[in-house]
Amino acid sequence: MLRTLLGRAVLTVSSLVAAATAVQLLLWAAPGDPIDLLPNGAELRPQLEAEWGLDQPVWMRVVTNLGRAATGELGTSLSYRPGTPVTEVLAQPALNSFALLIASLVLALAWSAGLAAFTRGRRQHTSRLVRTLSVAPVFLLAHLCIHGLNEVTWSLMEAGTIARPAWFALPGEASAMRTALAVVLLAVGSGALADMHREAEQALISIRRSGFVDAARARGEPTFLLVARHLTLPLASLAAARTGFLLGGLVVVEKVLLINGAGAILWQAALLRDVPVALGITLMAATTVCAARLAADALRVGIDPRLRSQA
Amino acid sequence: MRRHLMPWMLGGALLLAGATTAEPLRYAEDRAPPIVNPLFTTTMSEARLAELVFEGLFTDDAKLSSTPRLATGLDLAEDRMSAVVRLKPGVTWQDGESFTAEDVAFTVAAMKEESTASTERGRVQFIQEVEVIDDLTVKLTFEREEYAPEDKLHFKVLPAHRFEGTAVKRSDAFRTQPIGTGPYRVKRFNDDNSITLAKFDQYHDSTRIDEITMREVADKNYQSKLLLYESLEALVRVLPRDLATLQADRKVELYPYQTNSWWYVGFQNNRAPFDDERVREALTLLVDIDALLAPIGTGEVVSGPFVTSSPYYNHEVKRPKPDARKAAELLTAAGFAKSGDYWSRDGKPLTLKLTAQENLETAQDVVIALQSQLQSQGIKVEPTFLGTAEWKAKVWRERDFDAVLSQWSFDRSEDVTEQFHSEGKFNFGHYANAEVDALLDQAKDTSDPQAKKALLREVHAKVADDHPMIFLWTLDSYSAISRRVRKVVIHPFYFFTWSREWELK
């Protein structure tokens, strides 16, 4: 057990360090820096390079930032919101993104499990339909949905059929419709639903064919709860595996649907070479992925008595 | 009784019809201003917002002549080396403090302060000293004779009491808690990156719209959609391809305005083969500028570094017309020969590596058309599009390019020194001509408008003759504004300068 925990801890820390290092190296390697974006950047360069530590070699910048991040200090934004602490910049958007992530994960799991229970390897038409719906990339689906929805609603408004809905075409303002759309798109698009459905279906078939389910069936006991309980483990692993994938989708969905989330800010921070902000978001994303893995492991240990006895 | 009520009811209805509402005027920006401090303006979105919150001693009237705003007037000394500026009494900052001459002195000192590193420093370099005579009088001493100092006193004044010293930092708390004397105060920065501005109740002048909201909409195509959907009331600049759609909409009015900006293809003048003036001229003669302009909008082709409406534009300099025969002669004289499809020298085809900015509107269309035109004339074109940070690094800092497609925008001073002086900080193409340097220096030193006009017209002629760039055009610009907004007059550079008169029905 101790070895497993230690292994997980090492994996988590190394994942965070790797992600934080990679994003910094990428941004430092890209041409241009935040000073270039100032009209009098050339004049200010010596002063700002010293102030922001850009006069140090790249490896030292990376190590310094990692050291600071380890103490929970993410620094201040350089160009996205100059002078504002990164934690302040990210507080609300990170919450928005986290809520979207959890909601889309829950929805994807519920749909894939429900569909798996319906198809169970037999209804090929339904599986094909799911694959067809899910194959479109998230960005394309998001564009189609938001513009299609706006156009149809606008036509109905112009025709006097409906009054202006509260959610209609309001950039930025919190909107239940846009949030719901984002959740659905993340749960379905870029093959998410098809992949999860396929994996859930395989797990379900395998559980239903297992000896303990046959035994329960022979005893005349209901098998639904038994199957559901055993399906929890593969679903938890599936959720953990999909977390990183959905985080990537967030960047695109938030940008297209004009949702104020960490993904949209990451995009801007990368364009503006704002390393502290990008680093903050990357660390949050990596922590989320690691936490999802740990949660899935904990769930497995909690549910499966064999794992507990091994520990 | 009914007879007595009727006029009142009618009057009430008329009053209601004419009254302004509490609805906000919403306008879109590609990116929300990261800070609101006019000492550090880096983008036009910041300049537009500053126009609503802050004011200068003078501003532009509708004819773009200087008119007092925080000043009531100025008395220029006979030797033109100083002026006494009288300030408007009864002006208060948005935190309730009184506006005084100390604020003017502080602003000039802060802008000039080395460690502040204000992006606006150049605007006050002509002021040698500021002397506070009393609360409402300030004396400015100039570096050299000034003929119309009011034209240079448009910089925004800041409240001295909100700063601890003249060394101001971009990261100071003022960036998110700006206090001005302008018609609107920043009410809040919203989580969705929008900024809500509310009418400043103690404003020293009148303003009619109660609230203005700046909305961040990164997708330019979506901005015009939002205007059509009535989710916005104003669009600062309409993309040429959206003009027809917006023009056809009965709820939207298009407002044309002239900008001091012109497009160009700039050569790297110290890199072969573009260090040869004959090659640069030949390339200029191979481009059909009208054909490039037609698909992207309307505008006027320019022959030099000023817009055609500028007093400095030299109308005697004729724009080059396409002339393939003369171009061939020039290329031959420069050692090139047509072999196969391309002009070549030493076995290498004449190749133009053209760099353009990704976010320059319609640049992609221009580059493709230019590529097609030049390739058909035997010049190889290799286009590259760069993001803003990459562009600033490659073009501005490293100056690593063959040719760039870009545009320059200027304020009313139309000062091209930094672009064409051999030591200019924006002279990325390393253009150097001692005569042009001397003319630009003289133009900078003189405050006599007539002399300046003559000098800059000569600059126009000489620069056009050297072909450091292919001067393209100044585009007609349009704003689109909902017809619910009345009495709209747009400032060509700052947009909101005259928004006090606007009404929202």
Distance CA B220, CA B225 (A): 9
CB contact under 8 A, A171 and B121: no
Q: Distance between CA atoms of B366 and B88, rounded to whole angstroms? A: 49
Specify the pLDDT at position B20: 44
Nearest to A47 among B117, B215, B394 (CB): B117
Longest CA pairwise span in chain A (Å) = 83
Q: What is the CATH number of the domain that holds A196?
A: 1.10.3720.10
- The length of chain A, given as a count of residues: 311
A118-127, B316-325, B366-375, B378-387, range with the lowest pLDDT: A118-127
Lowest mean pLDDT among B79-83, B159-163, B442-446: B442-446
C-alpha distances out from residue B288 to B143, B157, B324, B369, Å: 46, 46, 10, 10
Tell me, yes or no, if A32 comes closer than 8 A to chain B by beta carbon. yes
- The pLDDT value given to residue B6: 45
B193 touches chain A (CB under 8 A): yes
Q: Is the peptide bond before B273 cis (omega within 30 degrees of 0)?
A: yes
How far does A118 lie from chain B, in Å, by closest CA?
40
Contact B396 A30 (CB under 8 A): no
For B188-235, write each residue's pLDDT tens digit. Answer: 988 778 899 999 999 999 999 999 999 988 888 889 999 999 889 999
pLDDT higher than 60, residue B9 = no
Complex-level ipTM: 0.76
Chain A: nearest CA to B45, how far in angstroms? 14
A 55-74: CB under 8 A from B: none
User: Confidence band (pLDDT; 50, 70, 90) for A171?
Assistant: low
Chain B window 382-401: which residues touch A at a Cβ cutoff of 8 Å?
386-394, 396-397
Q: Of chain A residues 144-183, which have a CB less than 8 A from chain B?
A: 147, 150, 154, 164, 168-174
- Choose the closest CB to A31 out of B171, B175, B393: B393
Residues of B in contact with A169 (CB under 8 A): 225-226, 229, 231
CA distances from B484 to A276, B215, B233, B249, B399 (A): 43, 18, 8, 13, 47
Tens-place pLDDT, residues B287-308:
999 999 988 888 899 999 999 9
Terminal Cα-to-Cα distance of chain B (whole angstroms): 32
Q: Which residues of A are less than 8 Å from B119 in CB distance?
A: 38-40
CA separation, residue B93 to residues B52, B159, B186, B367 (Å): 13, 7, 12, 48
d(CA B58, CA A74): 43
Q: What is the model's pLDDT at position B14?
A: 38
Closest CB from A82, A150, A171 relative to B175:
A82
Number of structural domains in chain A: 1
Helix (H/G/I), strand (E/B), else coil: A139: helix
Question: Which of the given ranges, A64-68, A254-258, B26-30, B180-184, has the highest pLDDT on average?
Answer: B180-184
Instruction: Calculate how close chain A gets to B111, using CA atoms only, in Å.
Output: 13
Report yes or no: B244 and B36 within 8 Å, Cβ to Cβ: no
Rounded distance between C-alpha atoms, residue B409 and residue B260, angstroms: 6
Torsion angle in degrees (nearest 10) through CA of A269, A271, A275, A281: 40
Contacts with B390 from chain A: Cβ below 8 Å: 30-32
In this prediction the pTM is 0.81
Chain A CB contacts of B388 under 8 Å are: 32, 37, 271
Q: What is the pLDDT of residues B41-62, one digit of tens each?
A: 888 889 999 999 999 999 999 8
How crowded is residue B134: how many other Cβ atoms within 10 Å of its Cβ?
9
Question: What pLDDT was estimated at residue B10?
Answer: 41
Return the residue in B26, B45, B113, B191 with the most chain A beta carbons within 10 A, the one to mutate for interface testing.
B191
A82/B contact by beta carbon, under 8 A: yes
Q: Are B387 and A271 an interchain contact pair (Cβ–Cβ within 8 Å)?
A: yes
Identify all chain A residues contacting B229, using CB atoms and an 8 Å cutoff: 150, 154, 168-169
| pLDDT on residue A172 | 59
Q: How far is CA B204 from CA A32, A168, B71, B91, B182, in A?
A: 44, 38, 12, 6, 9
Q: How confident is the model at residue A170 (pLDDT cuts 50, 70, 90)?
A: low
A75 in reach of chain B (CB within 8 A)? no
Dist CA B134 CA B421 (whole Å): 41
Backbone dihedral region for residue B68 (phi beyond 0: left; psi -120 to 50: alpha; all else: beta): beta
- Could you tell me if A15 lies within 8 Å of chain B, comparing CB atoms? no
Establish if B439 touches chain A: CB-CB under 8 angstroms: no
Best residue in A80, A88, A173 to probe B by mutation, most B CBs within 10 Å? A173
pLDDT digits (tens, 9 = 90+) for B247-292: 999 999 999 887 788 999 999 999 999 999 999 999 999 999 999 9
A36 in contact with B at a CB cutoff of 8 Å?
yes
Interval A292-298 mean pLDDT: 86
Amino acid present at B127: I
Domain-embedded: residue A22: no
pLDDT band at B21 (very low <50, low <70, confident <90, very high): very low
Q: Are strands B211-216 and B351-357 parallel, antiparallel or unpaired?
A: unpaired
Tell me the nearest-neighbour CA distance from A145 into chain B, angstroms: 14
Domain boundary assignment for chain B: 25-181, 260-475
Closest chain B residue to A79 measured between Cα atoms? B34
Q: Which two tokens stand for residue B14?
A: 């008329």
Contact A104, A96 (CB under 8 A): no
Instruction: Look over chain A and give the mean of its residue pLDDT values, rounded to a whole number.
Output: 87
A1 in a domain, yes or no? no
Tell me how many residue pairs between chain A and chain B have CB atoms under 8 A apart: 111
Q: Is B220 on the interface with A (CB under 8 A)?
A: no
Residue A93, chain B, CB below 8 Å: the answer is: yes
Architecture of domain B25-181: Alpha-Beta Complex (3.90)
Instruction: Give the pLDDT band (50/70/90) at residue B5.
Output: very low
Q: Which pairs count as long-range contacts for A143-147, CB under 8 Å and 24+ apart, including other chains? A: A143/A256, A145/A181, A145/A185, A146/A178, A146/A181, A146/A256, A146/A257, A147/B225
Predicted confidence band at B8 (pLDDT cuts at 50, 70, 90)? very low
Minimal Cα distance from A31: which residue of B? B390
Q: Which of B34, B191, B389 comes nearest A260 by C-beta?
A: B191
Our CA-based measurement puts residue B355 at a distance from the nearest CA of chain A, in whole angstroms, of: 14
CATH superfamily of the B260-475 domain: Dipeptide-binding Protein; Domain 3 (3.10.105.10)
**Chain B residues with CB-CB distance to A174 below 8 A:** 191-192
The pLDDT confidence band at residue B64, using thresholds 50, 70 and 90, is confident
**At residue A119, does pLDDT exceed 50?**
yes
Q: Are B268 and B403 in contact (CB under 8 A)?
A: yes
* Residue of chain A whose Cα is closest to the Cα of B33: A81
Rounded to a whole number, what is the distance in Å from the CA of B30 to chain A's nearest CA? 12
Percent of chain A with pLDDT over 70: 96
Residue A309: pLDDT over 70: no
**Nearest CA to CA, how far is B218 from chain A (Å)?**
8
Q: Which amino acid is at A252?
A: V
| pLDDT tier, A135 (very low <50, low <70, confident <90, very high otherwise) | confident
Mean pLDDT of B73-94: 95
Q: Which of B171, B392, B393 sits opposite A82 (nearest CB)?
A: B171
Collapsing DSSP states into helix, strand and coil, what is residue B17?
helix
pLDDT 10s digits, A201-232: 889 989 888 888 889 888 888 888 888 888 88
What residue type is A244 in one-letter code?
A: G
> Which residue in B has a C-alpha nearest to residue A256's C-alpha?
B219
Is residue A25 predicted with pLDDT exceeding 50?
yes
Q: What is the pLDDT of residue A167?
A: 77
Share of residues in chain B with pLDDT > 90 (%): 68
First to last CA, chain A: 4
Q: Which residues of B touch A154 (CB under 8 A)?
A: 228-229
Q: Choose from A162, A271, A274, A277 for mutation: most chain B CBs within 10 A.
A: A271
State the pLDDT at residue B202: 94
Distance from CA of A207 to the nearest CA of B (A): 46
> A169 and B231 in contact by Cβ < 8 A?
yes
- Residue A204, domain extent: 86-303
Tracing tokens 């000043």 back to the chain, one arrives at B71
pLDDT attached to residue B90? 94
Note whether B171 contacts A36, CB cutoff 8 Å: no
Residue A24 domain-assigned (yes or no)? no
Kindly list the residues from chain B whose CB atom is less than 8 angstroms away from the CB atom of residue A40. 117, 119, 121
Tens-digit pLDDT profile for residues B387-440: 989 999 999 999 999 999 999 988 777 889 999 999 998 999 999 999 999 999
Q: Assess contact for A146 and A256: CB atoms under 8 A.
A: yes
Residue of B nearest to A38 (CA): B42
Which helix (H) or strand (E) element contains residue A171? Answer: none
Q: Determine, yes or no, domain membership for A198.
A: yes
- Interface contact B389-A30, CB threshold 8 A: yes
Does A44 sit within 8 Å of B216, measured CB to CB? no
Residue with tokens 């400032």: B491
Per-residue model confidence as pLDDT tens digits over B236-254: 989 888 888 999 999 999 9
